[in-house]
Structure 1
Amino acid sequence: MSKQLASKAGIPLNPLAFIRKYDELWNRMLFLLGALIVYRFGSHIPVPGINPIELAAFFTKGKDTFLGMFNMFSGGSLERMSIMALGIMPYISASIVVQMLSAIIPSLEALKKEGEVGRRTISKYTRQGALVLSFVQAVGMSTMLLSGGMTLTTGLAFYIPAVSSLVAGSMFLMWLGEQITERGIGNGISMLILASIVASAPTMISQAFGQNSNLLVMLVFGLVAIAVVAAIVYIERAQRRVPVNYAQKQQEGRKVYAQQQSHLPLKLNMAGVIPAIFASSLLLLPASLGQFGGSSTEPTKFQVFLQNVSLVLQPGSPLYLLLFGALIIFFCYFYTALMFNPKEVAENLKRSGAYIPGIRPGQQTKRYLDFVLNRLTFIGAMYMAIICLMPMVAQSSFNMAIPLGGTSLLIMVVVLMDFIAQLQAHLMTHQYHDQTLIKSS
């Protein structure tokens, strides 16, 4: 009798039955694992015509520039100058540019409201933009390598295979990320970035332990890192639930439905990790350009100016910390304004017969949402600035090498939270399906 009840409830009686029950979830997990393995193998295929000795010396000098952060996001592919050295950054940049243009160009804004057809059109524009950015970055990277004496060949004999392989590697990563999103678990682009950071973490941790001999201080910093992770999880889950009521509906006869109540969830940090990535890129760009100018025998006045700027904006300096925090706050407000439109939300609530208690529909609802959103964004911007600046302040104050920066830690935690949420959603789908079968039987 118990076996019959277990079978009726859909509870597997052995491990093989359990695997068969969640076969779709296992297939998605295996596809994700296989895609990440392919990505890591591809990151070790070198671009033709590279001098590895000169390349290693160049990256040793540029570890504190834009190249260091870009190399971390590519999982060391840039330092090895593999065919995937551009990483997924061209696709991310193209996505952000298309999102910004969607808020400015009416035709793109209209596409966002056309459902699946509009989404596919915007995705096509994003892919085309990623291709253009990949080509531009590949040409620029090849020119930089050639001018720095880090190639074994010159001219078109180097440009054609180098640019082609770099663009092909970036487009393959874009395709692989989309396949992970469709056939795996989690956001594919985010999972590739997470894999890159995790792949670079062991090297950074070993270097930190090699430079820091005080194990007690390292233990304290480890405990602080755990507390920071807990704070990130807490704040990323935090929401302001704005109550929303719907108008009463009357049935035929004298019966009236009870007033429906819901809420509008507004996250404390709507911008995600984009502001930290943008702020880091902008501040490390002068140092990278200054290093490129330093490779020439007779630098121009502009190159000398860039070198002086890079000296002032060294990571950990007071000016760098001040500008970094200011840029994070600015991009938090800017990107949140792109992601959430209070006027559009207020109009949708009014059309659906919903209202916020105590607030008139229409313009007053829009003003109220603006007020709430500005307060939430301020708290979220302060949180992100503190998380990103804390490792730099600790490193400059205690003269210690900290393995992971605040931006990397933030990306890892947020992506893992999204992965776990999607995994739970798949499990809930299976449980709902089983309950439906039980009721129907």
Structure 2
Amino acid sequence: MSGWVRALRVPSTRKRLLVTLGAVLMFRLGQNLPLPGVDGPVGPGGLLDLVTGGGLRAPAVLALGVVPLYAARVLTSVLTVLVPRMRALKAYEDREGGSAVGRFTRYLTVGLGALGGVAVVVAADAGRLFPDGVAAVACMTAGTALTLRLAEWIGDRGLGAGMSLLFLTQVAAVLPGQAYAAGGVPALAVVPAVALVVVLAVVTARQAKRNVPVQRAKRMMGRWPHPTDTVHIPIRFDQAGYNPMVWASLAVFVPAWVWDLGGPWYLAAAFVAVVLGMYLCALRVLDPEKVAGDLRRQGGFVPGIEPGRPTAAYLGHVRARMAWWNGLYSGVIVLLPMVALAVLGIGARDPLNAPGILVAAGLSMIVSRDVAQQVESSFLEERYAAFLR
């Protein structure tokens, strides 16, 4: 009997892995389960197939994928900024705890799933809304609720962030087929190589930073002088992060897809959009005036720079210079998949596109980082479980 008990004591890391695999399997099964009452593909495909996991190609119960989840999170963030009551509630929950904003996000997710189901039914067959259309909308609403529960399940009991992992799952299920349909076997070899180069370039940029030295004035602690110490203000090279790069490339890709544009002008427009987008987003990360004011109140100063406005001007100059270089660096990164697709003869109207490759690379970085951190913390909990008890 003791042997059976020992066999059932699965380590927590293994349990988390089994929960994650089960949730992913259920998610993909729902994205291939036919939606009753709706026939034929919905939408133009391409990037839409990528963000929905191919669920709209032959409408499925989980046809919307994780789109309602991300849309609800974005809308909640916008409402928190614009609506005073939501802003006060969010501040109260951050300070005292609570779950009202989380419940609102869940309800909004299910509501967006219902609206998406109505849009799918109308786009598929506007003449038959009852009873088949009502059943289809109900199934897609329930599918959105199931996707939300699976994401929360992974976050609570699995490995990694639920939404990011499910998003990567549907991207990985669609991207190889798009690559083969657009460029055949050469595309299957080029796309992973380009995505790997993008990941390496972004990780290298995230590790780079400029340390601005700061010295503190000599202080008296009782009757004894406290010696000066030197600290640093780290200004990261990748100040804006990865998302502005994807959104800027997507803003150029959509008009190119609508009017079937390409060539050098398309590459130049994408490069300029990414450079400007990364630069403008980086300017919102660090506030030189606030940092200079905090240094002055704490008795710190940058060697060779006067405290106050000269320090703020110096920090602003360093921030702007690093933002420009990061913008140029990010523009080159975005050009890599675009040039690779152009060499393969893949245009804007083909299923495979540069924003899709950037999304896949970004999701791979996010998921791998979250899973690695969670596995490491789980191993530490297992190692010190006896002491914690």
The TM-score range, normalised by the shorter chain, is: 0.7 to 0.9
Q: How far off its partner does 1:49 sit? A: 0.9
Q: How far off its partner does 1:164 sit? A: 2.5
| SS of match in other structure, 1:156 | coil
| SS of match in other structure, 2:236 | strand
Instruction: Decide which of 379, 395, 415 is 2:363's aligned counterpart.
Output: 415
Mapping of residues 2-401 of structure 1, within 5 Å: 23-52=11-40, 55=41, 62-63=44-45, 68-103=46-81, 113-114=91-92, 115=94, 117=96, 120-147=99-126, 154-208=128-182, 210=184, 226-243=196-213, 254=224, 256=226, 259=229, 261=231, 263-264=233-234, 266=236, 268-273=238-243, 275-277=245-247, 279-280=249-250, 283-284=253-254, 310=258, 312=259, 314=260, 316=262, 320-329=266-275, 331-333=277-279, 336=282, 340=285, 342=287, 346=291, 349=294, 353=298, 355=300, 357-358=302-303, 368-400=314-346
2-structure distance, mates of 1:169, 1:428: 33
Structure 2 counterpart of 1:51, which letter?
D
Q: After superposition, what is the alpha-carbon deviation per residue over 1:327-346, rounded to whole angstroms, capped at 9, x for unaligned? A: 444544565566x3627963
Give the direction of change, closer, same or farther, for the CA distance of 1:164–1:399 in structure 2 (3 Å limit). Answer: same
Structure 1 counterpart of 2:23, which letter?
A
In structure 1, runs of 5+ residues without a counterpart are: 1-16, 148-152, 288-309
Q: After superposition, what is the alpha-carbon deviation per residue over 1:261-311, rounded to whole angstroms, capped at 9, x for unaligned? A: 354453505332355247526853896xxxxxxxxxxxxxxxxxxxxxx3x
When structure 1 is superposed on structure 2, of 362-371 and 373-382 the one drifting more is 362-371
RMSD over aligned CA atoms reads 4.4
Kindly tell me the number of residue pairs found equivalent between the two proteins.
378
When structure 1 is superposed on structure 2, of 153-162 and 397-406 the one drifting more is 397-406
Give the direction of change, closer, same or farther, for the CA distance of 1:393–1:198 in structure 2 (3 Å limit). Answer: same
When structure 1 is superposed on structure 2, of 371-380 and 351-360 the one drifting more is 351-360
Contact persistence 1:233–1:413 (CA under 8 A): no
Contact persistence 1:101–1:108 (CA under 8 A): yes
| SS of match in other structure, 1:195 | helix
Query: Which residue is 1:297 aligned to?
Result: none
Q: How far off its partner does 1:41 sit? A: 1.0
2-structure distance, mates of 1:261, 1:78: 54
Task: Name the TM-score, length of structure 2 as normaliser.
Answer: 0.74
1-structure distance, mates of 2:268, 2:254: 14
When structure 1 is superposed on structure 2, of 38-47 and 163-172 the one drifting more is 163-172
| SS of match in other structure, 2:302 | coil
Structure 2 counterpart of 1:186, which letter?
G
Query: Which residue is 1:9 aligned to?
Result: none
Q: How far off its partner does 1:154 sit? A: 0.5
| SS of match in other structure, 1:79 | coil
In structure 2, runs of 5+ residues without a counterpart are: 1-5
Give the direction of change, closer, same or farther, for the CA distance of 1:351–1:200 in structure 2 (3 Å limit). Answer: farther
Give the direction of change, closer, same or farther, for the CA distance of 1:98–1:329 in structure 2 (3 Å limit). Answer: farther
Query: Which residue is 1:295 aligned to?
Result: none
